[in-house]
Amino acid sequence: MNNLELKKIANEVRKGIIASVHSAKAGHPGGSLSAADLFTYLYFEELNIDPQNPKMEDRDRFVLSKGHTAPGLYSAMAHRGFFPVEDLITLRKLGSYLQGHPCMLHVPGVDMSSGSLGQGVSAAVGMALAAKMDQKDYRVYTLLGDGEIQEGQVWEAAMFAGHHKLDNLVVIVDNNGLQIDGAVEDVCSPYPIDKKFEAFNFHVINIDGHNFDEIRAAFKEAKETKGMPTAIISHSIKGKGVSFMEGNADWHGKAPNDEQYEVAMADLVKIGEALDKEEA
Protein backbone atom coordinates (compact mmCIF):
# COMPACT_ATOMS: atom_id res chain seq x y z
CA MET A 1 0.00 0.00 0.00
CA ASN A 2 1.48 3.37 -0.95
CA ASN A 3 1.66 6.37 1.34
CA LEU A 4 -1.23 8.16 -0.33
CA GLU A 5 -3.50 5.16 0.16
CA LEU A 6 -2.44 4.93 3.79
CA LYS A 7 -3.03 8.65 4.30
CA LYS A 8 -6.53 8.34 2.86
CA ILE A 9 -7.35 5.43 5.13
CA ALA A 10 -5.90 7.26 8.12
CA ASN A 11 -8.17 10.17 7.33
CA GLU A 12 -11.18 7.85 7.29
CA VAL A 13 -9.97 6.37 10.59
CA ARG A 14 -9.89 9.90 12.01
CA LYS A 15 -13.44 10.52 10.83
CA GLY A 16 -14.49 7.35 12.63
CA ILE A 17 -12.83 8.60 15.80
CA ILE A 18 -14.66 11.93 15.68
CA ALA A 19 -17.98 10.30 14.77
CA SER A 20 -17.80 7.71 17.54
CA VAL A 21 -16.62 10.05 20.29
CA HIS A 22 -19.21 12.63 19.26
CA SER A 23 -21.91 9.99 19.31
CA ALA A 24 -20.77 8.70 22.70
CA LYS A 25 -20.59 12.26 24.09
CA ALA A 26 -17.44 11.01 25.84
CA GLY A 27 -14.12 9.39 25.05
CA HIS A 28 -10.58 10.26 24.15
CA PRO A 29 -10.11 11.91 20.76
CA GLY A 30 -6.70 13.56 21.32
CA GLY A 31 -4.57 10.44 21.72
CA SER A 32 -6.69 8.50 19.23
CA LEU A 33 -5.98 11.10 16.56
CA SER A 34 -2.26 11.32 17.39
CA ALA A 35 -1.96 7.55 16.93
CA ALA A 36 -4.30 7.27 13.92
CA ASP A 37 -1.44 6.93 11.45
CA LEU A 38 0.11 4.19 13.58
CA PHE A 39 -3.20 2.35 13.92
CA THR A 40 -3.62 2.58 10.15
CA TYR A 41 -0.16 1.34 9.37
CA LEU A 42 -0.41 -1.50 11.88
CA TYR A 43 -3.80 -2.76 10.72
CA PHE A 44 -3.34 -2.20 6.97
CA GLU A 45 0.34 -2.98 6.47
CA GLU A 46 2.22 -4.38 9.39
CA LEU A 47 0.16 -6.93 11.29
CA ASN A 48 -0.26 -10.44 9.97
CA ILE A 49 -3.98 -10.73 10.74
CA ASP A 50 -7.18 -11.88 9.12
CA PRO A 51 -10.42 -10.00 9.86
CA GLN A 52 -12.36 -13.09 8.78
CA ASN A 53 -10.43 -15.21 11.26
CA PRO A 54 -9.63 -12.92 14.17
CA LYS A 55 -8.32 -15.78 16.32
CA MET A 56 -5.99 -17.12 13.60
CA GLU A 57 -3.46 -19.14 15.54
CA ASP A 58 -0.20 -17.59 14.49
CA ARG A 59 -1.45 -14.06 13.94
CA ASP A 60 0.58 -11.11 15.08
CA ARG A 61 -0.74 -9.67 18.34
CA PHE A 62 -1.52 -6.07 19.09
CA VAL A 63 -2.14 -4.82 22.61
CA LEU A 64 -3.40 -1.28 23.05
CA SER A 65 -1.78 -0.52 26.36
CA LYS A 66 -3.10 3.04 26.20
CA GLY A 67 -6.59 1.58 26.15
CA HIS A 68 -8.38 4.91 26.41
CA THR A 69 -7.58 5.49 22.75
CA ALA A 70 -9.99 2.69 21.89
CA PRO A 71 -11.80 4.97 19.41
CA GLY A 72 -8.66 4.96 17.25
CA LEU A 73 -8.26 1.19 17.53
CA TYR A 74 -11.93 0.49 16.84
CA SER A 75 -12.00 2.80 13.84
CA ALA A 76 -8.91 1.21 12.29
CA MET A 77 -10.23 -2.30 12.98
CA ALA A 78 -13.66 -1.49 11.58
CA HIS A 79 -12.15 -0.04 8.41
CA ARG A 80 -9.99 -3.16 8.14
CA GLY A 81 -13.12 -5.30 8.25
CA PHE A 82 -13.22 -6.78 11.75
CA PHE A 83 -16.70 -5.36 12.33
CA PRO A 84 -19.03 -2.89 10.59
CA VAL A 85 -17.93 0.74 10.41
CA GLU A 86 -21.55 1.66 11.19
CA ASP A 87 -21.12 0.16 14.66
CA LEU A 88 -18.53 2.78 15.61
CA ILE A 89 -21.25 5.18 16.73
CA THR A 90 -22.39 2.66 19.35
CA LEU A 91 -19.13 3.40 21.22
CA ARG A 92 -19.62 3.57 25.00
CA LYS A 93 -23.37 3.05 24.73
CA LEU A 94 -25.20 0.58 26.93
CA GLY A 95 -25.17 -2.87 25.34
CA SER A 96 -22.49 -2.06 22.77
CA TYR A 97 -19.54 -4.39 22.35
CA LEU A 98 -17.44 -1.28 21.83
CA GLN A 99 -16.75 -0.58 25.47
CA GLY A 100 -15.04 2.61 26.62
CA HIS A 101 -11.83 0.63 26.88
CA PRO A 102 -11.12 -2.49 24.78
CA CYS A 103 -12.45 -5.81 26.05
CA MET A 104 -11.08 -8.94 24.41
CA LEU A 105 -14.19 -10.91 25.33
CA HIS A 106 -16.45 -8.69 23.25
CA VAL A 107 -14.52 -7.32 20.28
CA PRO A 108 -13.35 -9.71 17.56
CA GLY A 109 -9.65 -9.14 16.94
CA VAL A 110 -8.85 -7.48 20.25
CA ASP A 111 -6.07 -9.61 21.73
CA MET A 112 -6.07 -8.17 25.24
CA SER A 113 -8.37 -6.16 27.45
CA SER A 114 -6.76 -2.93 28.51
CA GLY A 115 -7.47 0.46 29.92
CA SER A 116 -5.70 0.54 33.24
CA LEU A 117 -2.45 2.16 32.20
CA GLY A 118 0.79 0.23 32.33
CA GLN A 119 -0.84 -3.18 32.21
CA GLY A 120 -1.13 -3.88 28.49
CA VAL A 121 2.60 -3.83 27.99
CA SER A 122 3.10 -6.64 30.52
CA ALA A 123 0.52 -8.78 28.74
CA ALA A 124 2.28 -8.08 25.44
CA VAL A 125 5.55 -9.21 27.01
CA GLY A 126 3.80 -12.41 28.12
CA MET A 127 2.57 -13.00 24.57
CA ALA A 128 6.03 -12.43 23.14
CA LEU A 129 7.43 -14.85 25.70
CA ALA A 130 4.83 -17.47 24.72
CA ALA A 131 5.81 -17.10 21.05
CA LYS A 132 9.45 -17.67 21.95
CA MET A 133 8.59 -20.72 24.06
CA ASP A 134 6.59 -22.20 21.21
CA GLN A 135 9.22 -21.22 18.64
CA LYS A 136 6.57 -19.37 16.68
CA ASP A 137 7.49 -16.42 14.53
CA TYR A 138 4.48 -14.23 15.16
CA ARG A 139 5.26 -10.78 16.51
CA VAL A 140 3.75 -8.74 19.29
CA TYR A 141 3.12 -5.01 19.15
CA THR A 142 1.96 -2.75 21.92
CA LEU A 143 1.15 0.95 21.93
CA LEU A 144 1.69 3.10 25.00
CA GLY A 145 1.05 6.71 25.79
CA ASP A 146 3.85 9.02 26.87
CA GLY A 147 1.91 9.78 30.03
CA GLU A 148 1.36 6.08 30.55
CA ILE A 149 5.07 5.43 30.87
CA GLN A 150 4.94 7.24 34.20
CA GLU A 151 3.47 3.96 35.48
CA GLY A 152 6.21 1.91 37.15
CA GLN A 153 4.84 -1.33 35.72
CA VAL A 154 5.95 -0.21 32.25
CA TRP A 155 9.56 -0.33 33.41
CA GLU A 156 9.10 -3.66 35.15
CA ALA A 157 7.88 -4.99 31.81
CA ALA A 158 10.70 -3.28 29.90
CA MET A 159 13.27 -4.81 32.25
CA PHE A 160 11.84 -8.28 31.69
CA ALA A 161 11.62 -7.86 27.90
CA GLY A 162 15.19 -6.60 27.70
CA HIS A 163 16.45 -9.32 30.00
CA HIS A 164 14.80 -12.04 27.91
CA LYS A 165 15.90 -10.44 24.62
CA LEU A 166 12.36 -10.50 23.24
CA ASP A 167 13.17 -9.39 19.71
CA ASN A 168 9.65 -10.34 18.60
CA LEU A 169 8.28 -7.45 20.69
CA VAL A 170 7.78 -3.88 19.51
CA VAL A 171 6.85 -1.28 22.11
CA ILE A 172 5.57 1.92 20.53
CA VAL A 173 5.30 5.09 22.59
CA ASP A 174 2.92 7.68 21.16
CA ASN A 175 4.84 10.74 22.25
CA ASN A 176 2.28 13.48 21.70
CA GLY A 177 3.65 15.35 24.69
CA LEU A 178 0.35 15.90 26.48
CA GLN A 179 -1.53 14.20 29.27
CA ILE A 180 -4.71 15.14 31.13
CA ASP A 181 -3.08 17.64 33.46
CA GLY A 182 -0.91 19.26 30.80
CA ALA A 183 2.45 18.72 29.12
CA VAL A 184 4.12 15.48 30.19
CA GLU A 185 7.34 17.37 30.86
CA ASP A 186 5.52 19.72 33.25
CA VAL A 187 3.45 17.06 35.03
CA CYS A 188 6.26 14.58 35.69
CA SER A 189 8.77 14.38 32.90
CA PRO A 190 9.36 10.98 31.33
CA TYR A 191 12.18 12.41 29.18
CA PRO A 192 14.50 11.26 27.79
CA ILE A 193 12.23 8.43 26.69
CA ASP A 194 14.62 6.97 24.13
CA LYS A 195 17.55 6.89 26.56
CA LYS A 196 15.38 5.15 29.16
CA PHE A 197 14.44 2.33 26.79
CA GLU A 198 18.07 2.07 25.67
CA ALA A 199 19.05 1.67 29.31
CA PHE A 200 16.54 -1.18 29.55
CA ASN A 201 18.32 -2.94 26.65
CA PHE A 202 15.95 -2.00 23.86
CA HIS A 203 16.83 -1.03 20.33
CA VAL A 204 15.29 2.44 20.02
CA ILE A 205 14.02 4.24 16.93
CA ASN A 206 12.71 7.82 16.94
CA ILE A 207 10.21 8.68 14.22
CA ASP A 208 7.74 11.30 13.11
CA GLY A 209 4.51 9.48 13.91
CA HIS A 210 2.70 11.10 11.00
CA ASN A 211 5.25 10.20 8.33
CA PHE A 212 4.49 6.84 6.70
CA ASP A 213 7.99 6.52 5.24
CA GLU A 214 9.43 6.76 8.72
CA ILE A 215 6.77 4.46 10.21
CA ARG A 216 7.44 1.87 7.52
CA ALA A 217 11.20 2.07 7.94
CA ALA A 218 10.93 1.77 11.73
CA PHE A 219 8.84 -1.41 11.64
CA LYS A 220 11.25 -2.87 9.06
CA GLU A 221 14.20 -2.02 11.27
CA ALA A 222 12.41 -3.56 14.26
CA LYS A 223 11.92 -6.79 12.34
CA GLU A 224 15.59 -6.88 11.41
CA THR A 225 16.72 -6.23 14.98
CA LYS A 226 17.76 -9.45 16.65
CA GLY A 227 18.59 -10.17 20.26
CA MET A 228 16.71 -7.25 21.78
CA PRO A 229 13.21 -5.79 21.75
CA THR A 230 12.55 -2.58 19.85
CA ALA A 231 11.01 0.62 21.15
CA ILE A 232 9.65 3.07 18.61
CA ILE A 233 9.24 6.57 19.98
CA SER A 234 6.61 8.11 17.76
CA HIS A 235 6.73 11.90 17.93
CA SER A 236 3.22 13.00 17.21
CA ILE A 237 0.70 15.78 17.55
CA LYS A 238 -2.16 15.26 19.93
CA GLY A 239 -5.46 15.77 18.14
CA LYS A 240 -3.74 15.55 14.73
CA GLY A 241 -6.03 16.41 11.83
CA VAL A 242 -8.60 18.45 13.72
CA SER A 243 -7.57 22.10 13.81
CA PHE A 244 -8.90 23.04 17.22
CA MET A 245 -7.78 19.81 18.90
CA GLU A 246 -4.17 19.83 17.73
CA GLY A 247 -1.68 20.33 20.53
CA ASN A 248 -4.41 20.97 23.09
CA ALA A 249 -4.47 18.84 26.25
CA ASP A 250 -8.11 19.82 26.82
CA TRP A 251 -9.03 17.35 24.06
CA HIS A 252 -7.46 14.40 25.84
CA GLY A 253 -10.74 13.06 27.12
CA LYS A 254 -13.56 15.23 25.91
CA ALA A 255 -16.12 14.80 23.15
CA PRO A 256 -16.88 17.52 20.62
CA ASN A 257 -20.37 19.05 20.82
CA ASP A 258 -22.53 19.22 17.69
CA GLU A 259 -20.99 22.45 16.52
CA GLN A 260 -17.43 21.27 17.16
CA TYR A 261 -18.26 18.00 15.46
CA GLU A 262 -19.18 19.89 12.28
CA VAL A 263 -15.92 21.84 12.35
CA ALA A 264 -13.87 18.70 13.00
CA MET A 265 -15.53 16.76 10.20
CA ALA A 266 -15.10 19.73 7.83
CA ASP A 267 -11.38 19.74 8.67
CA LEU A 268 -11.11 16.05 7.84
CA VAL A 269 -13.18 16.38 4.68
CA LYS A 270 -10.81 19.11 3.57
CA ILE A 271 -7.82 16.88 4.22
CA GLY A 272 -9.56 14.13 2.26
CA GLU A 273 -10.16 16.45 -0.69
CA ALA A 274 -6.52 17.49 -0.70
CA LEU A 275 -5.51 13.81 -0.75
CA ASP A 276 -7.91 13.18 -3.65
CA LYS A 277 -6.35 16.06 -5.55
CA GLU A 278 -2.90 14.62 -4.84
CA GLU A 279 -4.05 11.35 -6.34
CA ALA A 280 -5.39 13.02 -9.47
> Where does this chain bind other proteins (CB under 8 A)?
61, 63, 103-105, 111-113, 115-116, 118-131, 133-134, 152-153, 156-157, 159-160, 164
Half-sphere exposure of 40 (CA within 13 A, CB side): 29
Cβ at position 136, least distance to other proteins in Å: 9
Cβ at position 112, least distance to other proteins in Å: 6
Residue pair 74/84 in contact by the 8 Å Cβ criterion: no
Instruction: Round to whole Å and give the CA distance between 148 and 111.
Output: 19
- Virtual torsion, Cα 22, 240, 7, 221, nearest 10 deg: -130
For other proteins, the closer CB: 40 or 119: 119
For other proteins, the closer CB: 130 or 180: 130
Which of helix, strand or coil describes residue 58?
A: coil
Q: Report the candidate in 242, 230, 252 with the shortest Cα–Cα distance to residue 182.
A: 252
For other proteins, the closer CB: 112 or 245: 112
Burial 157-167 (b: 16+ CB within 10 A, else e): bbebbbebebb
Which uninterrupted H or E stretch holds 63? strand 61-64
For other proteins, the closer CB: 70 or 128: 128
Query: Residue 58: exposed, middle, or buried by beta-carbon count in 10 A (0-12, 13-18, 19+)?
Result: exposed
Cβ at position 211, least distance to other proteins in Å: 30
Cβ at position 221, least distance to other proteins in Å: 24
Cβ at position 84, least distance to other proteins in Å: 23
Cβ at position 36, least distance to other proteins in Å: 25
For other proteins, the closer CB: 34 or 99: 99
For other proteins, the closer CB: 124 or 218: 124
For other proteins, the closer CB: 104 or 265: 104
Cβ at position 122, least distance to other proteins in Å: 2
Q: Which residues contact 62 (CB under 8 A, 6 or more apart)?
A: 42, 43, 47, 111, 140, 141, 142, 143
- Give the N- to C-terminal CA distance of the chain in Å, as an integer: 17
